Amino acid sequence: MQDKRNYLKNITELNFSGYKFVLYYGEELNEGIAEFPHYHYPFQIYYVLEGEIHINIAGIQENVSKNGVLFLNRNIQHHVIYNPDEPKRYFTIIFDIASNKKDLCKGPDGPLEYQDLMSAIQSCTGKGYCISNEFYADSILDSLYEELEAREIGWNTTVVNCCYRFFLKTLRHISNTKAKDTELSGTENLAMAASMYIHAHYAEEISIEKAARQLNVSPRHINRSYTSMFGITFIKNTNLLRIAYAKNYLCETDDSLEMIAEKVGFFSVRSFYKLFQKYEGISPGEYRVLHRKK
């Protein structure tokens, strides 16, 4: 029997938007640990690291060899046949993917992801279970064991995350189901959308009113979101970006200041000169001399 068991005994959860991953149990086992016939509502995965396991699944004996993985659906009676003279090492988790309708705020996953996961599980375990070979998840387990050993800040969450990654890797390996949830979900970051607008249109006449119409919000909403996110106003950041892009022309071209000002969206060379001096501490001409590429 193994001296030190990597044993996850506590029920823990990872909560997402609309569903949660519930880990009931996880452990690395070997030939010295017996398993009794049983069934349970949550799902279970077996992954063979060394040797081979013989497992009885609802009266059918199956063999899972090294780098093989077994995904069991709910309520399937099973047990690994105890053969202490056959060296083996395998990892297993018991878990569930549960709907969480009370938490339907949009997140980095969305309710569609829950549907995708359950559809994929059903497609490959519709008959009760699925066995597949050529599966490699040792690196995930190494990370899990390192976290269990070190127990540094955040280790608890990281351990459950490792188990969730293990489940996802298994599901992707055994299922051909394509995700229907193909768009990033969550509430749009208005400040970042406004910043992208500036980057795309800095050479044009920009106003917060124009950006608001483009993003279908009020100017006040943009300014408030932008300032809250970046600590700077929309207009000030527009000018700073224009000056930043003007540096390219100063270093790489012989364009006049009038031409450069126009290319970066300043419709007055005087405004360009004044703001450049204000934010950079030197004039555009002086900057060109200092940074001109040979």
Reported as a single tens digit per residue, the pLDDT across 139-194 is 999 999 999 999 999 999 999 999 999 999 999 999 988 888 777 766 778 999 99
Q: List Cβ<8 Å contacts ≥24 apart for 120-125.
A: 120/171, 120/175, 120/177, 121/43, 121/71, 121/73, 121/97, 121/171, 121/175, 123/175, 123/176, 123/177, 124/71, 124/171, 124/174, 124/175, 124/177, 125/71, 125/72, 125/73
Q: Is the pLDDT of residue 248 over 60?
A: yes
Amino acid at 123: S
Locate the domains of the chain by residue range. Answer: 7-174, 190-291
Of 25, 24, 28, the C-alpha closest to 149 is 28
Question: Distance of alpha carbon 145 from its chain centroid, rounded?
Answer: 21
* Residue 250 pLDDT: 95
Q: Are strands 52-57 and 43-50 parallel, antiparallel or unpaired?
A: unpaired
| Encoded amino acid at 192, one letter | M
User: What CATH number labels 190-291?
Assistant: 1.10.10.60
Indicate the class that CATH gives domain 7-174: mainly beta
Model confidence pLDDT, tens digit, residues 104-138: 555 556 678 889 999 999 999 989 999 999 999 99
The residue among 44, 166, 156 whose CA lies nearest residue 96 is 44
- The C-alpha atoms of residue 181 and residue 62 are separated, in whole angstroms, by 34
Q: Which helix H or strand E contains 215, and what residues bound it?
A: helix 208-215
Cα 226 to Cα 195: distance, rounded to the nearest angstrom: 8
Distance of CA 136 to the CA centre of its chain: 20
Q: Convert the pLDDT of each residue in 68-101 to its tens digit.
A: 999 999 999 999 999 999 999 999 999 999 988 7
Q: Does pLDDT of 2 surpass 60?
A: no
221 pLDDT more than 80:
yes
pLDDT of residue 218 exceeding 80, the answer is: yes
**Are residues 128 and 79 in contact, defined by beta-carbon separation less than 8 angstroms?**
no
The band of 3, judged by pLDDT with boundaries at 50, 70 and 90, is: very low
Structure tokens at 62: 């199956």
pTM of the entire predicted model: 0.76
Residue 97 pLDDT: 96
- For the chain, give the percent of residues with pLDDT over 90: 81
pLDDT in tens, 161-171: 999 999 999 99
Q: What are phi and psi of 81, to 5 degrees?
A: -70, 130
Sheet hosting strand 60-65, strand order edge to edge: 60-65, 52-57, 78-80
